[in-house]
Amino acid sequence: MRATEQVWAADVRDGTARIHWRRVRTLDERQALLLQDEHTELRWVTLQDMRDLDPVFAEDLELFTQMSG
């Protein structure tokens, strides 16, 4: 993946972090790999799938709700 543009940035509610979202482009057809133990799974999800996650950043839901029209 290569980042092509920043889409949005927001501070999390408790002010402990700033989240950045970027559009990306795949560089080739290889399957994406998890790079660190922070993540356990990589997959596409629907907006409803995101709403069902726990925990989830409210800021993520706000952005993707806006993007989905």
pTM of the model: 0.57
- DSSP state letters, 4-45: EEEEEEEE-TTSS-EEEEEEEE-SSSSPP---STT-S-----
Q: Which two tokens stand for residue 4?
A: 């092509």
Domain tally for the chain? 1
Residue 42 Ramachandran class (φ > 0 left, ψ -120 to 50 alpha, else beta):
beta
Coil, strand, or helix at residue 47? helix
Domain that holds residue 36: 2-67
User: How would you write the pLDDT of the chain (69 residues) with one tens digit per residue?
Assistant: 899 999 889 898 889 999 898 988 888 888 888 888 888 888 888 999 999 999 888 888 988 898 887
